A and B are shown apart, each in its own frame.
Chain A
């Protein structure tokens, strides 16, 4: 158990819909990262927050947005969902940017 929690574990929805994925980092970690992993693919970095502020952006679509709240938990919002958005979404946290990242168990999103 990495100490990072993600909810929900599984999510099945339809095209065009909007979903919110939630992540609680390890106690004491200030940085949160979001990654997308499609079937048998690598990890695509989406976005990073540090202490509530956006620090870095990767290949995140305009339909996706995220935020980190004062209690340091983070949410990833995916809207106007398409079939290709089906993937495993991981959240990771670290004490500071650049430190080892602890990954949550992931949320498996299926768009039908």
Chain B
């Protein structure tokens, strides 16, 4: 079945360092969404990318969708302790069924 792979599984950074998580699919995705889940919380929608090669920014966060629409990345510049949590990508070949990646757990040391 379709899978969305996400790496790395864990990332520990010092506050102020950058962080990147990658999402890969074996099939072309219709779109990709990114979510953040704080410890003990529920996933919260961050952004959706639809177009091939699309790049979107939200303050210190930069999201990219690959040209072939098979991969995506989330980059955080100068991490802060408030960035702690698990970041999930979610994508699917159709809009009906989204597969979540396994997530990247980010820990930021002050």
Please state if A98 and B101 are interface contacts (CB–CB under 8 Å). no
Report how many A-B pairs have Cβ atoms within 8 Å: 59
Q: Is A11 an interface residue, CB under 8 A from the partner? A: no
Chain A residues near B96 (CB-CB < 8 A): 48, 50, 55-56, 97-98
Query: Hey, which bits of chain A sit against chain B, CB under 8 A?
Result: 2, 33, 35, 41-45, 48, 50, 55-56, 58, 90, 92, 96-106
Query: Hey, which bits of chain B sit against chain A, CB under 8 A?
Result: 6, 30-31, 33, 35, 42-45, 48, 88, 90, 94-103
Please state if A103 and B100 are interface contacts (CB–CB under 8 Å). no
Alpha-carbon separation in the docked complex, A101 to B33 (Å): 9
Please state if A43 and B43 are interface contacts (CB–CB under 8 Å). yes
Please state if B101 and A45 are interface contacts (CB–CB under 8 Å). no
Please state if B88 and A42 are interface contacts (CB–CB under 8 Å). yes
- Chain A, Cβ-Cβ closest to B95: A98
Return the contact of B100 from the options A43, A50, A97, A102 (Cβ within 8 A): A43
Q: Quick one: which of B31, B43, B48 has the most chain A CB within 10 A?
A: B43
Shortest Cβ distance from residue B93 to the other chain A in the assembled complex, whole angstroms: 11
Chain A residues near B31 (CB-CB < 8 A): 98
Alpha-carbon separation in the docked complex, A48 to B94 (Å): 13
Please state if B88 and A58 are interface contacts (CB–CB under 8 Å). no
Please state if B42 and A104 are interface contacts (CB–CB under 8 Å). yes
A45-B97, A56-B96, A97-B95 known; A106 vs B33 contact (CB < 8 Å): no
Alpha-carbon separation in the docked complex, A93 to B45 (Å): 11
Please state if B103 and A42 are interface contacts (CB–CB under 8 Å). yes
Please state if A103 and B44 are interface contacts (CB–CB under 8 Å). yes
Please state if B30 and A101 are interface contacts (CB–CB under 8 Å). no
Q: Quick one: which of A42, A50, A102 has the most chain B CB within 10 A?
A: A42
Alpha-carbon separation in the docked complex, A90 to B43 (Å): 9
Chain B residues near A50 (CB-CB < 8 A): 96
Please state if A35 and B100 are interface contacts (CB–CB under 8 Å). yes
Please state if A45 and B103 are interface contacts (CB–CB under 8 Å). no
Alpha-carbon separation in the docked complex, A55 to B27 (Å): 21
Chain B residues near A35 (CB-CB < 8 A): 100
